[in-house]
Structure 1
Amino acid sequence: MKYISLIAVVLLFLSPLEGQTQENKIKRPNIIFIMSDDHAYQAISAYDNKLIETPNIDRLAKEGMLFTNASVTNSICAPSRATILTGKHTHINGKIDNHFPFDTTQVTFPQLFKKNGYKTAMFGKLHFGNNPKGVDEFMILPGQGNYINPDFIVTSGDTIRKQGYVTDIITDVSLDWLKREGTSDEPFMMMYLHKAPHRPWWPRPDKFKEFTQKTFPEPATLFDDYKNRGTAAKTAEMNLLQHMMYSHDSKIRPETLEKMKGKVLPVVEEYPNSFYGPYNRATAEQKAQYDPVLDSINNFFYENWPKMTDREKMKWKYQRYMQDYLGSISSVDDNVGRLLNYLDESGLAENTIVIYTSDQGFYLGEHGWFDKRFIYDESFKTPLLVRWPKVVQAGSIENEMVQNLDFAQTMLEAAGIQPPDDMQGESLIPLLKGNKKEWTRDAVYYQYYEYPSVHMVKRHYGLVNKAYKLVHFYYDVDEWELYDRLKDPNEMNNVYNDPAYAATVKKLKKELIELRKYYKDSPEQDQKYIDLYESSGKL
């Protein structure tokens, strides 16, 4: 009897466990995390279709949720990616800028997925580190990577070169992996990470030809004079006319510039090999596709640039910028469409969460700028679209204050994985399920550190809620700015010293102090990173 009872007890415990495991395998969703590099929300037609139509990315909004107040904690590539991987602010994970090292003892969310039975993969641009943790298979670009015939570091540690256009190649590899690994019983988490549309914006030859024939509407603030802003906006080095490079960015051949010596004003310093570095990666056949468009651009520049006014030059540089930037995005959208189509055709779409975002926003001529770094909206805000069949209501729009800090915890909760206690984000699951009452955050925290450095955007931190943005610029200045986000959406007027906003300033300053404490940031932390920066010899 004892023997029979023992068997019964064992069966009693084993049977539910086996059933539970099988049930979990069916219910645990697959996750595809898509991130592009420097993809401005203004360049997704679900947000705004003045510049470009992106029908495939828009599908995620039509079939899922569009977030209108998604933002980053630090608007620069590697720190943003470190925040996404760890669910922690950059002052905690150590990756405060593109130079300081990432704290490799930090646990990343792919590690947790792998530990909890998910197949994991990463394809595309990581930007830092050559051996991502927690992924069964990877193929990542070294550093920034290249658009034309790019090199990749693969799981074995070898570096290989693939011929073709980077956006297409990353998609090819991602689809190959899904076809091999996506149909088994185990759920999967795949990071599908595009290089585009990061500078220097080399579209695929067909897109290059197509988009150079287009003219794009100018932003209202293209000729901003920064008169109602502080020192930071006035001294940043990201103006299209003054700082965008002729060869690196506008695709003017060095020979053209040499022939025009003394006639190309304003003078802009170029990166070494900034034109031929990317161009010479192309095969003779690929160059033959690029050359007619390059000839056309260079001929126009040679014949017209010296005769143009500064205003006309600014307009020309803006158009050249948009033609290449948006041409690069067009390929991203096409390839997102390839992936979404495969999910539909294979039946995987039904149980797969698809997230689309960028590592930060980007200036598309607003305030006369390109690049990012600032807490101002075009840089601070980031696209976020989430499709989760049978969970997220199709066509829903969410305006709560969310951040890339929240992505890790959201994906972990969706997969039924307990996040570590030291993650600092908040799961977006309540919002995705339409349970707004469970969402308690009303403001987010931001801090940017990389100064003095390229583009010379001063160090600053701030608090942002739906109505206001309070910013403190520090280090070599001590200036505060306040923007009324509802009355001044273009952020043209700093009202910090306006008596009408005195009570608002007092309230927000108190909230900012509390928010810094909550996220374990402080003036002492600021000084720690200043001291490290100054002792590193980077100044």
Structure 2
Amino acid sequence: MTQQKRPNILFIMSDDHAARAISAYGAGLNATPNLDRIAEGGMRLDRCYVTNSICTPSRAAIMTGTHNHVNGVTTLDTHIDNRLPNVAKHLRHGGYQTAIYGKWHLGEGKGHEPTGFDDWAVVPGQGEYFDPTFIFPDGHRRLEGYATDLITEMSLGFLENRDPEKPFFLMCHHKAPHRNFSPHPRHRHLYSDPLPLPETFHDDYARRAYAAAVARMRVRQDMTYDDLGLVQPEGGIEVGAPMYPGASMRKVPEVVEGRPVTLVDALTGENFTFTDPVALAEFKYQRYMQRYLRTIQAIDESVGRLLDWLDDSGEADNTIVIYTSDQGFFLGEHGWFDKRFMYEESLQMPFLVRYPAGVAAGSQSRKIATNVDFAPTFLDFAGLPIPNYMQGVSLRPLFEQQTDEAWQDVAYHRYWMNRDYIHNAIAHYGVRDRRYKLIYWYDKAMGWIGSEEGEEIGAWELFDCDKDPFELTNVAADPAYAEVFRAMLSKLDAKMAEIGDMPEHDSRSVLSGLPDVA
């Protein structure tokens, strides 16, 4: 294959975009016609999973093709060492013209800025939605406009002015729809009709490990005035608990008996008064979802502009277009917003790919893929060697529907940020295969919920995802699932050994506590 014939790669990634908020996935929450164009012209992956459900580690895994214990980016506060190899460096060395615009979130300043790119402009930290600052190779500049539109303009500018003799690798990284959800004014009228509540919105967390009950990600308790587009009143604890100790942003309070809650819309000044805690919780859910879905609409328009450019320029047939997000997101399931957990809504990344030369239009796959597989995939299609430090596999056989039973059957996930001060999410790791999910929560204060005497012998969860798709019942201590537990523990141990991650559990001790199988 000559250099001119190698495919272009357009990688579009948003932040915190749940698969259910893409209409091609069929949930019926919103309409994303341009994202659907990718699915209709290519493939939708239904089992693409993140290896660490938080922004910074996920992006490091995508850039390097390695798990976080290898690339060293395990939390939001650990940044990439840009002396390390990454996929952009390999592609650039191999003859591609490369660029990244938008959210980087892998550190700022010397030693952490993007490397491997011919051009780049990234937002500091999470960035801002309106009139955001960007970091360019020559310094910081504030631009007027809406972040999603500005990132799109930069991406189109690169495409227009690139070297046409070279294939391109463009990473268009939107900051949206990360909280605080801020839609463009042109979309404020959308999704005004109430949405149905998720079946698990009023989950009581009764049949699972302690981690679910202690997490501070509940729509009814933990969303701020700013999250919901409401005016934050002056005052102290009486108007709401701080988002975290010392924060100026406060959470919208719940109704307390004898003390109604009155809220004010930040745009219209409309007042809403509640005396019923359930009604208030459901109001918060509707406000959250409206703002979230409206923020996504600008992303869909951005994708449409990029796809139109490919069509108009004649590059569409020779361009691999991928749309994904850096992880999943809870849209009220289990009463939650945010991510972090290995539960399905947080674990699943949306993934759409279109490449007329190699992906059948309108196809779908339920084979397992993860974000450490992205970098090897790019290199495979570019006709470049996949270096032996990368731990993922090329998804090309999956795209071309050439996989067999030997295809990878587990996804590994590890979340390192034990009891972060905002969300109080517990550190954990585990594996998900085609039917079951095994999770180990290794906060030392936790016990194995469901053990006969309640003794602290390890905080395990096992879910039968076919029978229990909402993951409501932990069957780790169910004798009927003892053999499944053994098999999944074996898969976990094998995967950790394969990638070189160090376990916090002792499998021999765990197995000795399981009932014998007749």
How high is the TM-score relative to the length of structure 2? 0.88
Q: Which residue is equivalent to 1:169? A: 150
2:329 and 2:337 in contact (8 A); partners too: yes
Q: Does 1:462 align with 2:441?
A: no
Question: Structure 1: which 5+ runs fail to align?
Answer: 1-22, 276-291, 527-539
What residue number does 1:535 align with?
none
**In the alignment, residue 258 of structure 1 is paired with which amino acid?**
E
Residue 330 of structure 1 pairs with residue 289 of structure 2 = no
Whether the 8 Å CA contact 2:230–2:265 is kept in 1: the answer is: no
What's the CA shift for 1:474? 0.4
How many residues align structurally?
A: 475
Q: Which of 273, 277, 281 is the matching residue for 1:314?
A: 281
Quick check: 430-439 or 44-53, which moved more? 430-439
Query: CA offset at residue 507 of structure 1?
Result: 1.3
Contact 2:219/2:284 (CA < 8 Å) preserved in 1? yes
1:294 and 2:270 aligned:
no
Match of 1:16 in 2: none
Structure 1 residues 82 and 313, CA gap change in structure 2 (3 angstroms): same
CA contact (8 A) 1:123 1:170 kept: yes
Query: 1 CA distance for matches of 2:267 and 2:167?
Result: 50
Are residue 381 (structure 1) and residue 352 (structure 2) matched?
no
Structural RMSD (CA): 1.9
1:523 partnered with 2:503: yes
* CA apart distance, 1:241: 1.3
The match for 2:74 is 96
Letter in 1 for 2:153: D
Deviation at 1:314, TM superposition (A): 0.7
Instruction: Say yes or no: does 1:217 pair with 2:189.
Output: no
Which amino acid in 1 is paired with 2:208?
A: R
CA apart distance, 1:121? 0.3
- Paired with 1:262 and 1:455, the residues of 2 have a C-alpha distance of 19
Residue identity in the other structure for 2:75: D
**SS of structure 2 residue aligned to 1:340:** helix
Equivalent residue, structure 2, for 1:17: none
Provide Cα deviations, 1:170-211, integer angstroms capped at 9, x if missing partner: 0011111101116x1111100000000001011001212434
Alignment correspondent of 1:178: 159
Secondary structure class of the residue paired with 2:439: strand
Which residues in structure 2 correspond to 1:243-282 (within 5 Å)? Answer: 243-246=222-225, 248-254=226-232, 257-258=233-234, 264=239, 267-269=241-243, 272=247, 274=249
Aligned 8 A contact 2:7 2:381 in 1 = yes
Rounded Cα–Cα distance in structure 1 between residues aligned with 2:361 and 2:237: 57
Q: State yes or no: 1:65 paired with 2:43.
A: yes
Instruction: Indicate if the aligned counterparts of 1:91 and 1:525 stay in contact, CA closer than 8 A.
Output: no
> Which residue does the alignment assign to 1:362?
329
Q: Shift of residue 524 of structure 1?
A: 7.0
* Aligned mates of 1:79, 1:165 — CA distance in 2: 26
Secondary structure of 1:332's counterpart equals helix
3-state DSSP of counterpart to 2:379: helix
Q: Distance in 2 between matches of 1:119 and 1:439?
A: 35
Give the aligned residue type for 1:62.
E
Structure 1 residues 438 and 410: CA distance shift in structure 2, 3 A: farther
1:124-143 to structure 2, matched below 5 A, reads 124-130=102-108, 131-143=113-125
CA deviation digits over 1:472-493, x for unaligned, max 9? Answer: 0003233000000101111111
> In the alignment, does 2:462 pair up with 1:482?
yes
Structure 1 residue 38: Cα displacement:
0.4
Asked if the contact 2:242–2:248 (Cα under 8 Å) also holds between the matched residues in 1, the reply is no
Q: Secondary structure at the match of 2:298?
A: helix
Letter of the 1:300 counterpart: N
Contact kept, 8 Å, 1:209 with 1:293, in 2: the verdict is no
One-letter identity of the residue aligned with 2:41: E
> Cα distance 1:60–1:439, how it changes in 2: closer, same or farther (>3 A)?
farther
Matched AA of 1:522: M
Q: Tell me what 1:205 maps to.
A: 185
Secondary structure at 2:404 match in 1: helix
CA distance in 2, matches of 1:100, 1:436: 36
Q: 2:493 aligns with which of 506, 513, 518?
A: 513
What is aligned with 2:211?
A: 232
Q: Does 1:115 align with 2:96?
A: no
Q: Retained in 1: the 8 A contact 2:496–2:503?
A: no
Residues 1:504 and 2:480 are matched in the alignment = no
Mapping for residues 310-459 of structure 1, pairs under 5 Å: 310-437=277-404, 440-453=407-420, 454-459=422-427
Deviation at 1:242, TM superposition (A): 1.2
1:145 aligns with 2:89: no
The whole-number CA distance in structure 2 between the counterparts of 1:336 and 1:439 is 35
SS in 1 for 2:205: coil
In structure 1, C-alpha distance between the alignment counterparts of 2:397 and 2:477, rounded to whole Å? 38
Distance in 2 of aligned mates of 1:262 and 1:522: 42
Q: Residues 221-259 of structure 1: CA distance to partner in whole angstroms, max 9, x if unpaired?
A: 11100011110001111011111112x2112223xx238
Letter in 1 for 2:372: L
2:7 maps to what in 1?
29
Q: 1:281 corresponds to which residue?
A: none
SS in 2 for 1:447: strand
- Contact 1:431–1:439 (8 Å) recurs in 2: no
Deviation at 1:356, TM superposition (A): 0.5
Distance in structure 2 (CA, Å) of the matches to 1:197 and 1:66: 21
* Separation (CA, whole Å) in 2 of partners of 1:269 and 1:525: 33
Equivalent position SS for 2:290: helix
1:524 and 1:312, CA in 2 relative to 1: closer, same or farther beyond 3 A?
A: closer
Q: Is the 8 A contact 1:50 1:217 kept in 2?
A: no
SS of alignment partner, residue 523 of structure 1: coil
1:283 equivalent in structure 2: none
**CA apart distance, 1:215:** 1.9
**Secondary structure of 1:437 counterpart:** coil
Change (3 A) 1:155 1:105: closer
1:14-25 mapped onto 2 (5 Å cutoff): 24-25=2-3
Q: Deviations over 1:384-435 (max 9, x none)?
A: 1111112100011010111001000000000011121010001001111110
Structure 1 counterpart of 2:491, one-letter code: E
Matched-pair identity in %? 44
Shift of 1:382: 0.5
Measure the CA separation in 1 of the matches of 2:84 and 2:162. 27
Matched residues in 2 for 1:102 and 1:186: separation?
Answer: 28
Does the CA contact (< 8 Å) of 1:243 and 1:268 recur in 2? no
**In the TM superposition, what whole-angstrom CA distance separates every residue of 1:322-369 from its partner, at most 9, and x where no partner exists?**
011100001100111011011101111111000110000000000000
TM-score by length of 1: 0.85
Q: Do the aligned partners of 2:242 and 2:249 also contact (CA within 8 Å) in 1? A: no
- Name the CA distance, whole Å, in 2 between partners of 1:101 and 1:345: 39
Q: CA deviation at 1:268?
A: 4.9
Partner Cα distance (1:492, 1:392) in 2: 36
Correspondence 1:85 to 2:52 = no
What is the letter of the counterpart of residue 198 of structure 2? P
- How much has 1:100 moved relative to structure 2? 2.0
For the residue of structure 2 that corresponds to 1:242, the secondary structure is helix
Contact 1:361 1:382 in 2 (8 A): yes
The 1:450–1:345 alpha-carbon spacing in structure 2 relative to 1, beyond 3 Å, is: same
